[in-house]
Structure 1
């Protein structure tokens, strides 16, 4: 039924397969909390208020002994009347910005927001939906579909936005509801205790004199007394206390939050935005910590493997160095001595005989001793290398000793 009453505008983008724009129902702006349709929280709030008013003034406050009943009438009455007036004012007042209230008739449908044309509803202090210039603290409410001056939050219990124009009424309604609910809980608890300890203190009204038994109780005193039982009175009291405790918990939490916001000088919208940013930062930090932990574990595992392999590699290297040290010394000295030979000596070494071997050995030993200072202190490997310099040699691959071919060994 609600869709039939709304006007249709061609506001949707053109589809690739169609030749015309799709008809989309536009959403008109809401004037205040009484604009149709009401929200469920708003209806529940009014029913709770009416129920507590009836129970307080019709059942339990009249049972209090004087003068406490007069005090309770005054305090609870002021709280309930103040809450009724301020709650009603917070719902009726239009919290929209002055430029919106001057232009908006609340009868024409509003265009829908298209993110393909504008990244934000309000950009450069201009609202593209309301088509007005707004202030820096103005926000466009998606529920009410209008710009709210000094936007605080959209209240479901009021079915209206809370801005600078109705925030004072909202705060007074919150305080009065909290005080009235607390007073009602105290009154019912006093009656519940006195019902078992001193029931006569609760039966001081003149109408109780005509009752013959103490099990019968009267409610809606003094104008319209109605008889009820003791069990019925206590059952209603128990249910009322539970409902009042739940209401007090919600109201106390909301009042504490707004007292904190007033102390900080921020709005509910700013508080929620900061909380979301804080949660996003915490999530990013958790992701970074998880990544750092993974990298640290990988680095620890790789370091452990490298530490395990290093001793083995070091031991193998040292063993190889020990085995080939003497052979490298012998080979290096032989190579240097070979470089000091004259070309004639290099050629004559290719044509050797058994008689030239001793001569070459003597000359080579004497010359090598004069040039390099090589003596017997360098060991048998070096001496063997010097003695067999002019003889073709074969290096033993398993050690540092020099091997002479078998046929030459027989000749020598």
Structure 2
């Protein structure tokens, strides 16, 4: 860039969280270092803090501020599906004892259809609820579990730095922790990008991070 003093930001930074070194990646789309557990969603095209996954059923990303509501949603949905399934089975059983099994199937086609739908739905919903219950108890995200970021198979040096080493404490931290304010100013205006890119120092978090200079060569 000639005589310009501008230097591109480092690709990664290292921060220490609970005595474990965690690398932060630079997002060239959002132009910032991603905070811990943050990932860029290709569908929403923005970085999501404590990114879990992008849910097509709710049409939104599941992350730091709405994960507890998503978990409550799938948990209540699993109970509702199991309750409806039990009620339909009870209804068909009582009707078949009075009118016979074949007659009951002919006279209550809606109940039979509901029974089939609930039978195939309850297993997937219960499985999803069980999986997220495991994630809550371990203080993990779906993204971290799929990538194996804190897998025990990789050794103690890759242990989960966010776990409180207690199932009860992890559940309280994930589901009952303080509600974080939104980082989006709903009444603000987007400022156009003009001029020379600013120094990356303003984008470095304030928790004592150090850039990983080994991944960026010197620029004459």
> With structure 2 as the length reference, what TM-score do the two structures score?
0.53
Equivalence map 1:179-194=2 (5 Å)? 179-194=79-94
If each structure's helix is expressed as a fraction of its own residues, which one has the higher value?
1
Equivalence map 1:247-258=2 (5 Å)? 247-258=121-132
| CA positional deviation for 1:236 | 1.9
| CA positional deviation for 1:197 | 1.5
Instruction: Work out which of the residue numbers 128, 131, 141 in structure 1 matches 2:28.
Output: 128
Q: Are 1:158 and 2:58 matched, yes or no? A: yes
Q: Are 1:270 and 2:144 matched, yes or no? A: yes
SS in 2 for 1:188: helix
- Where does residue 239 of structure 1 map in the other structure? 113
> Retained in 2: the 8 A contact 1:178–1:251?
yes
- Where does residue 43 of structure 2 map in the other structure? 143
- Give me the whole-angstrom Cα distance separating, in 1, the residues matched to 2:127 and 2:32: 37
| CA positional deviation for 1:183 | 0.6
Larger CA Rg, structure 1 vs 2: 1
Aligned residues: 135
Cα RMSD between the aligned structures?
A: 3.3
| CA positional deviation for 1:134 | 3.5
> Retained in 1: the 8 A contact 2:12–2:24?
no
- Where does residue 74 of structure 2 map in the other structure? 174
CA 1:248 to 1:121, structure 2 compared with 1: closer, same or farther past 3 Å? farther
| Greater RCO, 1 or 2 (C-alpha within 8 Å, sep 6+) | 2
| CA positional deviation for 1:137 | 1.7
> Retained in 1: the 8 A contact 2:50–2:64?
yes
Task: Mark the runs of 5 or more structure 1 residues left unpaired by the alignment.
Answer: 1-116, 200-214, 216-228, 280-412
> Retained in 2: the 8 A contact 1:121–1:127?
no
- Give me the whole-angstrom Cα distance separating, in 2, the residues matched to 1:254 and 1:230: 31
> Retained in 1: the 8 A contact 2:11–2:25?
no
- Give me the whole-angstrom Cα distance separating, in 1, the residues matched to 2:58 and 2:71: 12
